[in-house]
């Protein structure tokens, strides 16, 4: 028994070293590197999401206690009610509905399991889009409002979600939000001035 375990201890480093060399030769980062290839169940092919507002405008983002979702208002919270809400990326409208909590709500399916959700819209979302509509990034899909349980505070509650093979998603499918390649996440975080690149 002792000889067998000694044999294993001596051969494992050689196997690990060989695997690391194969990984490096194949262009994959070795174990311990900062970037790892996605594993089974990891999400891939993330759309390049942009803030859902007119290019060049500035916005304040807050996670409050519901990270990774964001509540978004005009920079300085100086009056967001009625401001146009645009699609963050191209996709197909997956759902348009009114909910007691989220109010007037839209979900867009961006493909490869990725969705965005837009809550508390001012108007009936069917005024702008309907289920099955294809939308381009930057297309107006609604306006900021305070429908549902928005606390009488005009803001956009925004989520990026992932569920492979889904036709609709739920809050349990939320993922950290990325705009223009940067991640905005963490409980009770605030970004006071983020410029939209939805051009």
CB burial string 50-63: b at 16+ within 10 A, e below: bbbbeeeeebbbbb
Judge contact between 105 and 98, C-beta under 8 A. yes
Q: What is the pLDDT of residue 32?
A: 33
| Domains in the chain: boundaries | 1-37, 58-195
For domain 58-195, give the fold. Answer: Glucose Permease (Domain IIA) (2.70.70)
Residue 84, SS3 per DSSP: strand
Which of the residues in the chain have pLDDT under 50?
A: 1-40
Q: What is the pLDDT of residue 1?
A: 43
- State the CB neighbour count (10 A cutoff) for residue 138: 18
Q: What is the pLDDT of residue 25?
A: 38
Q: How does pLDDT run across 135-153, given as a tens digit for each residue?
A: 999 999 999 999 999 999 9
Instruction: Enter the tokens of residue 11.
Output: 């051969």
Its pTM stands at: 0.78
């Amino acid at each position: 028994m002792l000889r067998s375990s000694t044999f294993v201890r001596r051969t494992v480093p050689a196997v690990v070293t060989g695997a690391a060399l194969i990984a490096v030769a194949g262009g994959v980062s070795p174990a311990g590197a900062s970037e790892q290839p996605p594993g089974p169940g990891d999400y891939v092919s993330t759309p390049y999401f942009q803030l859902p507002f007119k290019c060049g405008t500035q916005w304040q983002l807050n996670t409050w206690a519901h990270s990774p979702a964001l509540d978004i208002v005009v920079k300085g919270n100086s009056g967001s009610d009625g401001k146009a809400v645009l699609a963050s990326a191209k996709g197909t409208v997956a759902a348009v509905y009114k909910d007691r909590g989220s109010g007037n709500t839209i979900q867009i399916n961006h493909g490869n399991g990725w969705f965005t959700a837009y809550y508390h819209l001012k108007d009936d979302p069917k005024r702008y889009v309907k289920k099955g509509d294809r939308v381009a990034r930057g297309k107006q899909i609604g306006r900021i409002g305070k429908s549902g349980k928005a606390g009488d505070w005009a803001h956009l509650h925004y989520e990026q979600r992932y569920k492979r093979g889904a036709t609709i998603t739920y809050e349990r499918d939320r993922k950290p939000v990325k705009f223009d390649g940067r991640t905005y996440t963490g409980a009770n975080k605030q970004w006071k001035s983020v410029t939209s690149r939805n051009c």
